[in-house]
Amino acid sequence: MRLLLLLLPLLLSVPPATAAVYMEKDSEGNVIFTDKPSSPEAKPVELSPPSTYQPPALPAPPPRKPAAEPAAEAVYESVEIISPADDEPVRANDGRLSVSVEVSPPLKPGHRLELHMDGKKIAETRGDHFDLENIDRGTHSLQVQVVDEKGKTLISSKAITFHLLRYAIPRPATR
């Protein structure tokens, strides 16, 4: 309240926003519009009220539908093969290969990992790695899937490719 009493003299000293407009002619006969006339021949101009716009009322929002049953939340954020790396050559003359997997969040009870090589399921585990034996030399693809207790795939990793390098059995020399 005190602030209003202090500002009242200041508010009363401000001129109104709509000032008078005058029309007059200069020495060359040009018409000039001004709010501060320079000659007694200046005539006040009647201004029409300013244009305003009243937007139409917004329609009422449609009634809300009853909340649907919440969608099942994703159980896992990601699963990926950490080792071997994509397009990595792997030297393993005995055909052994260790595959490391990272799952986020960790596997839930009852869930397992399935490893697919070249499109076929070759192993499963409840851990985070697979130890494979007697892999043929050549280029292979790997993909891991997290599977629930009913056998439903919950999430799959990106497929990676690796190249297993093994010595070939030397052929006898022919003469």
Q: Within 10 A of 157 (CB to CB), how many other CB atoms are there?
A: 21
What pLDDT is recorded for position 103?
A: 94
126 burial type by CB count under 10 A (0-12 exposed, 13-18 middle, 19+ buried): exposed
Given a cut of 60, is residue 46 above it in pLDDT?
Answer: yes
The label of the residue with tokens 């050559």 reads 89
What pLDDT is recorded for position 57?
A: 87
To the nearest whole number, what is the mean pLDDT of the chain? 84
What pLDDT is recorded for position 80?
A: 95
> Dihedral sign, CA of 124, 130, 136, 137?
positive
* Per-residue pLDDT tens over the stretch 110-145: 999 999 999 999 999 999 999 999 999 899 999 999
What's the rounded Cα separation, in Å, for the pair 125 and 160? 19
Q: Can you say whether residue 119 is alpha, beta or left, with left for phi > 0 and alpha for psi between -120 and 50 degrees?
A: left
What pLDDT is recorded for position 31?
A: 87
* Per-residue pLDDT tens over the stretch 5-37: 555 565 555 555 556 888 898 888 898 888 888
Given a cut of 80, is residue 65 above it in pLDDT?
Answer: no
Contacts of 137 (CB under 8 A, 6+ apart): 95, 164, 165, 166, 168
Render the burial of 38-77: b for 16+ CB within 10 Å, e for the rest: eeeebeeeeeeeeeeeeeeeeeeeeeeeeeeeeeeeeeee
What's the rounded Cα separation, in Å, for the pair 79 and 102? 6
Given a cut of 50, is residue 71 above it in pLDDT?
Answer: no
What pLDDT is recorded for position 147?
A: 94
pLDDT mean over 29-50: 85
What pLDDT is recorded for position 4?
A: 57
Given a cut of 60, is residue 72 above it in pLDDT?
Answer: no
Contacts of 82 (CB under 8 A, 6+ apart): 100, 101, 102
- Catalogue all structural domains in the chain, each as residue range(s) with its CATH number: 78-165 (2.60.40.10)
